[in-house]
A and B are shown apart, each in its own frame.
Chain A
Amino acid sequence: DGGITQSPKYLFRKEGQNVTLSCEQNLNHDAMYWYRQDPGQGLRLIYYSQIVNDFQKGDIAEGYSVSREKKESFPLTVTSAQKNPTAFYLCASSFRQGLDGYTFGSGTRLTVV
């Protein structure tokens, strides 16, 4: 079955460390997105990519970096510059125009310890 897979499900990071969250899809979707969700809050866009080797900043890109070397993969690195990284991170994908909405992965819950 096609889908979008995020790993790991839970991640603990020490202060000052960079960590990378994985997102892989086999839906043949062109576009991929990263959102952050804090408790009781809506989804906020971090980065998105509509084609391979191209990506754009979202509303809260500071302290994050991404790459899109393959159509199937869109990893997110949370750098030490991100001051409040504890959150629920959601990856999504869609066809280029996204007319059918997005398909989400099951998320990664990141906690700074």
Chain B
Amino acid sequence: RKEVEQDPGPFNVPEGATVAFNCTYSNSASQSFFWYRQDCRKEPKLLMSVYSSGNEDGRFTAQLNRASQYISLLIRDSKLSDSATYLCVVRSPPGNTPLVFGKGTRLSVIA
């Protein structure tokens, strides 16, 4: 089983739609979780950290389910500018090991 797994997509959604991405991780002792966004031929950029209690930043909501080893990202009211690849990122113990990146889920928001 891969350490971090994501549905590769692509997800093609109309503007204004709500879209959800899911991610599973294999190491139950994983400690830190992030969502990154990567535009075509660009570097990944941190979108948001994922906290146990769930967290929201504007139209974006991230949730963590430790029991199921599952992370989600919800985007509401999709904009054309949300089109990108979304990377699920996990840190496994010990605390200073490098982050492990999922392969990403590609989103295309269509006018």
Contacts and interface: CB of A to CB of B under 8 A. Distances in A.
B85 to A, nearest CB: 10
Contact of B99 (A88, A98, A106): A98
A105 B43 contact: yes
A41 B44 CA distance: 13
Interface in A85-113: 88, 90, 96-107, 109
Query: Size class of A's contact patch?
Result: 20 to 34
B36 interface: yes
Interface string A31-64: 1010100001111010010100000001000000
Contacts of A104: 43-45
A59 to B, nearest CB: 9
Interface string B6-43: 00000000000000000000000000101010000111
Interface string B51-84: 0000000000000000000000000000000000
Interface of B: 32, 34, 36, 41-46, 49, 87, 89, 91, 95-96, 98-99, 101-104
